[in-house]
Structure 1
């Protein structure tokens, strides 16, 4: 990552500075940040921070900015404890046809409430994200929702429900995201451990640590 970042900056920054004084600057930033979000979330965050006055961005781009900035902070392990930013995205996407972005906005609002330890509110928004996410779209994202639901239920000692969520998360990410697959195997094993189901605990731990 550290070796790739200088190359990225050398190639993208001239474009950004050339756009800074025209109306396409924010749109260029958002497109670049979105495309880099999965592979280089640190670069996405850096790009988004170059938008100095987001209040002046037109509504559609401002909603995307709020969603992407919340997402980038979350992926860079920056505590996201203020819901005002992501609610701007939700207010916009509720009245748009982009259900996928609305689902992601609901998910990240759930993450805000999870950070605040408001578990019922977090669960509510995770379930809303599941409900409106277009079928067949982004199974790894759906896996994230189920995994977070599992964490919420586990925190409330609802072990059987948590286990079912972790299994759903595992089924969606296997063959698509190896790191998330291992994470969900560990969660499944932990859930069986809490339920004192030793054979299943051993089975899933062994799969997590082959």
Structure 2
């Protein structure tokens, strides 16, 4: 018994559906995360309120973004930091990815948190990593924030020549 053309086409369609239909699709960002990110620079207190009200995301990518945004909002409001565990989640997630902007942001906030925890050497390493990553983007505001923090660190450590170059 020979398979006819319709049977062959149906079999090929099923195989293609199995191969491409089960591929991993990128999760759609939660509306709360998008809203918090949109208001972060002008209203970090509102962004933090949105992030604290929402349930913690279960998707790894969304959870990493949530951790990054919570840390960013807390740092912008000059809230005290007790550990780097929250930003570490985001940093560890974004480090191996190809998203240069998120890698730079997570390295920047790792530096800020370490600086607040009085770990200046670790902060410097993260700031330098962030400055290397931000060069791959066109986000000049982020680049300014990174170089400002690096210059501030150098200035407070009496490294005026390095501070001048960073600023």
Judge same fold: TM > 0.5, yes or no: yes
The question of 1:39 aligning with 2:42 is answered yes
Residue of structure 2 equivalent to 1:76: 77
TM-score (structure 1 length as normaliser): 0.62
The CA deviation string for residues 24-54 of structure 1, in whole angstroms up to 9 with x for no partner, is: 9x811101001111121111010000124x2
Superposition RMSD in Å: 1.7
Residue of structure 1 equivalent to 2:109: 108
Residue of structure 2 equivalent to 1:57: 58
User: Does the aligned pair in 1 maintain the 2:134–2:142 contact within 8 Å?
Assistant: no
Three-state SS of the structure 2 residue aligned to 1:120 is helix
The question of 1:130 aligning with 2:131 is answered yes
Q: How many aligned residue pairs are there? A: 140
Higher Rg: 2
Which whole-Å CA distance do the structure 2 matches of 1:136 and 1:129 have between them? Answer: 11
Which whole-Å CA distance do the structure 2 matches of 1:145 and 1:134 have between them? Answer: 11
User: Does the aligned pair in 2 maintain the 1:100–1:134 contact within 8 Å?
Assistant: no
Three-state SS of the structure 2 residue aligned to 1:89 is helix
Which whole-Å CA distance do the structure 2 matches of 1:107 and 1:92 have between them? Answer: 14
Which whole-Å CA distance do the structure 1 matches of 2:125 and 2:82 have between them? Answer: 17
Which whole-Å CA distance do the structure 1 matches of 2:165 and 2:59 have between them? Answer: 42
Residue of structure 2 equivalent to 1:158: 159
The CA deviation string for residues 88-118 of structure 1, in whole angstroms up to 9 with x for no partner, is: 1111112322121011000000001111121
The runs of 5 or more residues in structure 1 that have no matched partner are 1-23, 167-210
Three-state SS of the structure 1 residue aligned to 2:158 is coil
Which whole-Å CA distance do the structure 2 matches of 1:159 and 1:95 have between them? Answer: 33
Residue of structure 1 equivalent to 2:148: 147
Three-state SS of the structure 1 residue aligned to 2:83 is coil
Which structure has the higher relative contact order (CA within 8 Å, separation 6+)?
Answer: 2
Which whole-Å CA distance do the structure 1 matches of 2:121 and 2:58 have between them? Answer: 34
Three-state SS of the structure 2 residue aligned to 1:49 is helix
1:162-201 aligned at under 5 Å gives the runs 162-166=163-167
